[in-house]
Structure 1
């Protein structure tokens, strides 16, 4: 709704009358009424400021709904994670911000998502709680956790009706200190107490601080002001980020449950996509139809998508992170859909299926698809405790290299290509086969190499298996029949005590099963 007022008028004031012969000099008036640039965004609200209004807007409100009566299901699990972190940094103050709201354009913000380390250690998901900071204060037997955040303002405050970022009239009621303490089991305090709390007992021989780098620049500046020019402070903060990432390498039972929910919701989203393929073919930007179908489902079934949906038809499927999604979806081609639902707890799935648009693979499409599926199956065979993470990729590459050699695409043998000095097969699959998955789609990314790439697989690890082959339309190193074909098959895998579980097995993988599944959805 457009505001009918001058954009430079004072907030809450009527537009000034034109100057007359007896009016003061307009230039002098403008100088007197000069408004700071950062304050001008409030002009559109035409907010009333009279004392009578302020008294009236605060009057005659009934009680708010009762607060929570018990903890979140995640609370006890988050407490155990904090305990594990505490043992790594005895005697130090650990600062884990949720992060601030981020400006999308002018005075509108992106939907808030807390930093994954904050979500992991507090159990809070969805859009809770911008600007909040979890601090682990050192005590004799470990750490005491305190959650500092901006509590709900009273109805007698200007924030209540006037603050478009935090006000209850604008964004709804925020929790009270007591509410979050009940939900998380963590002691709470107002955000304006944070600075003093950070500085407590800090000195040359006192408490040392670490803060998660990049999470919140304002909080980092507060920490830096307190600790001063501490030697190697960036390295110390990096060690905290590393530890927080490695803390998520092995999922606990609650996390596995959330991953199952994310995968199940994602499978439902893929079924919706198939049902909408005919409309996608009819639309001039059919890829957007697929994207909108899945993304709408993600908002209905969970919090959002876990990452930007890839809806890549035809040759677009050979661009690994194609998220423009503005192309046509044509009969006779395939469409690569890489998508994941992020559930309310912020855990996300990450699944890819490459689908024949009309429900049936051509002979060439099936040949490429089967090669990728065979590579995935080889990776599954070695994804078990005792093997190393890198072995999963190596197994997939053996199949990819052998198949490309059989098709006459390599300049030598498969064995020569697999040699570190060769790697010719990687022209058609430049990405890795797996990455850890959880709160981030590329989870645990700050973990040390020896605990990630070189790690021995352990029960509780969750990662993807996603080989692919990508033959670009202008690739003269392959026969014309292969050009413009891109195939990726991606599943989410849980390492178990005696092997692995394909969490996304409900979505068909074998070409015959894909065709039968699509036929049932397209004809239903």
Structure 2
């Protein structure tokens, strides 16, 4: 990686601490900023998301009449010294603008209240998108700014490009402060999505203080905005469902690549890393990245729910639990898990545990229907898990499945401490700021997308179970769409039945 200088000294002058070799002479500046051909047209077209994001913004704005809503994309984040992580915009910003991948660090979406009926789509708000546009080639940013300069990171879109692509009026980010401050304290309440950009939050607080803005009333708070933006994603629109289907398809392809790589994983001293890098490379090639850190857990490691060290061996005879998802360029992610026999065939006890988890998953699918509670899905899976543990004699003496399933019992949860489902979308754990009464206790509606992922985890040192179970961890996870009359398993193309898994693995490995 080339050496950076994000705060260049004036022309002809070097900083005392500057150890870089970039020239500073006026002759250099004059020469590097001259004799460039006109920039090529980027050929930007309107995004397919434009009508969908417009509808999402309208639904959010109508919940906060008279308020100015501030939704930051977020800044670049330092990884180490003067290098940054690859940028990913905040999910709320992406949802409301359609910008994904590494687009527009420091950008801020603002929904301004306007006179009734005069705003976007005849509504009561007007959207503006404040961005850092392409800098002219006679500016210092062009050649010297390692975060934003064209010489360092490539050409940025112009304001017109951003407007065309998003369907939102784009303005220079330098005008943000004045735009946010207008009429605050004189009828306009300023709200910001917190947790996205500390600098923007600080600016909003300063504007409020200067305007003497009093405590918000009628639910007009930052917390309410964050919650509403999260709840806006509980029911997916047609475009979101289409993007989730694509993410699932790309993820299934990645699982197949992992199966093909298992012999190489067995041969490597850190075979779990072979699995991880095989999937992660596929995710980067076919999408934006992974939607979360890949879990590639072999043997005993599969009993650790979020095992992401992925530094262990992959041994013949063991199970390997792969929990992974491809995040596509729009930032929607899948989230799938399969527990695969390294040799291609389950042992008798492995198959017994796997079948119990599969039966629990099937019960959860049967419960995932419109009108049911989100909690019903989990309870259906837990009933099967508790009954199977009773059948195997693993519950404490005198405890039946019925007793374990009571709030005062829950002994079966020793071997499955996590929930069965979570919403899925732009975030792998989507809609996490939604109110409990709309999420955990909410009623299922067509368009909701969530996971179904029961499991059983018997740790190697668990003296509460017979030795044959110890060291076995199994999870099966699929992505489900609630439909008008039931549900659809979006990941049905990835085999689930143990015999089907074995046949699929044989077909891939030849």
TM-score, reference length from structure 1 = 0.92
> 1:212–1:237: 8 Å Cα contact kept in structure 2?
yes
Q: Which residue of 2 aligns with 1:139?
A: 114
Q: Which residue of 2 aligns with 1:446?
A: 433
How big is each residue's C-alpha offset from its partner over 1:439-492, in whole Å with a ceiling of 9 and x where there is no partner? Answer: 000000000011101111100000000000000000000010100000000000
1:342-357 paired onto structure 2 within 5 Å: 342-357=327-342
Q: Which residue of 2 aligns with 1:402?
A: 387
SS across alignment from 1:449: coil
Cα distance between partner residues in 1 of 2:454 and 2:2: 51
> 1:12–1:46: 8 Å Cα contact kept in structure 2?
no
Based on CA coordinates, which of the two structures has the bigger radius of gyration?
1
1:267 is aligned, of 248, 252, 264, to 252
Q: Does 1:221 align with 2:193?
A: no
Cα distance between partner residues in 1 of 2:197 and 2:2: 34
Choose 235-244 or 486-495, whichever is displaced more. Answer: 235-244
Cα distance between partner residues in 2 of 1:351 and 1:339: 6
> 2:299–2:314: 8 Å Cα contact kept in structure 1?
yes
Q: Does 1:470 align with 2:457?
A: yes
Q: Which residue of 2 aligns with 1:93?
A: 68
1:110 is aligned, of 81, 85, 91, to 85
Cα distance between partner residues in 1 of 2:239 and 2:252: 20
1:458 is aligned, of 445, 459, 469, to 445
> 1:116–1:440: 8 Å Cα contact kept in structure 2?
yes
Q: Which residue of 1 aligns with 2:486?
A: 499
How big is each residue's C-alpha offset from its partner over 1:188-231, in whole Å with a ceiling of 9 and x where there is no partner? Answer: 1100100000110112x421010001110100011111112642
Q: Which residue of 2 aligns with 1:276?
A: 261
Number of paired residues?
Answer: 493
Choose 49-58 or 363-372, whichever is displaced more. Answer: 49-58
Cα distance between partner residues in 2 of 1:513 and 1:125: 36
Q: Which residue of 2 aligns with 1:311?
A: 296
How big is each residue's C-alpha offset from its partner over 1:326-377, in whole Å with a ceiling of 9 and x where there is no partner? Answer: 0000000000000000000000000000000010000000000000000000
Q: 1:67, CA displacement in angstroms?
A: 3.2
> 1:340–1:350: 8 Å Cα contact kept in structure 2?
yes
Cα distance between partner residues in 2 of 1:477 and 1:78: 52
Cα distance between partner residues in 2 of 1:2 and 1:341: 30
Cα distance between partner residues in 1 of 2:481 and 2:348: 33
Q: Which residue of 2 aligns with 1:252?
A: 237
Cα distance between partner residues in 2 of 1:316 and 1:469: 13
Q: Which residue of 2 aligns with 1:208?
A: 189
Q: Which residue of 1 aligns with 2:215?
A: 231
Q: 1:173, CA displacement in angstroms?
A: 0.7
Question: CA 1:446 to 1:74, structure 2 compared with 1: closer, same or farther past 3 Å?
Answer: same
How big is each residue's C-alpha offset from its partner over 1:205-261, in whole Å with a ceiling of 9 and x where there is no partner? Answer: 421010001110100011111112642599810100000000000000000000000
How big is each residue's C-alpha offset from its partner over 1:353-403, in whole Å with a ceiling of 9 and x where there is no partner? Answer: 000001000000000000000000000001010111000000000000000
Q: Which residue of 2 aligns with 1:428?
A: 415
Choose 58-67 or 86-95, whichever is displaced more. Answer: 58-67
SS across alignment from 1:474: coil
Cα distance between partner residues in 1 of 2:415 and 2:188: 53
Gaps of 5+ in 1: 4-8, 15-32
Q: Which residue of 2 aligns with 1:80?
A: 55
> 1:98–1:115: 8 Å Cα contact kept in structure 2?
yes
Q: Which residue of 2 aligns with 1:27?
A: none
Q: Does 1:193 align with 2:193?
A: no
Q: Does 1:162 align with 2:149?
A: no
Q: Does 1:130 align with 2:105?
A: yes
Q: 1:280, CA displacement in angstroms?
A: 0.2
Cα distance between partner residues in 1 of 2:340 and 2:507: 14
Question: CA 1:10 to 1:157, structure 2 compared with 1: closer, same or farther past 3 Å?
Answer: closer
Question: CA 1:10 to 1:93, structure 2 compared with 1: closer, same or farther past 3 Å?
Answer: closer
SS across alignment from 1:463: strand
Cα distance between partner residues in 2 of 1:382 and 1:208: 43
Cα distance between partner residues in 2 of 1:69 and 1:288: 39
Q: 1:428, CA displacement in angstroms?
A: 0.2
Q: Does 1:481 align with 2:473?
A: no
Cα distance between partner residues in 2 of 1:264 and 1:10: 50
SS across alignment from 2:87: coil
How big is each residue's C-alpha offset from its partner over 1:393-434, in whole Å with a ceiling of 9 and x where there is no partner? Answer: 000000000000111111210000000000000000000000
SS across alignment from 1:48: coil
Q: Which residue of 2 aligns with 1:60?
A: 35
TM-score, reference length from structure 2 = 0.94
Choose 326-335 or 70-79, whichever is displaced more. Answer: 70-79
How big is each residue's C-alpha offset from its partner over 1:280-331, in whole Å with a ceiling of 9 and x where there is no partner? Answer: 0000000000000000000000000000000000000000000000000000
Question: CA 1:491 to 1:406, structure 2 compared with 1: closer, same or farther past 3 Å?
Answer: same
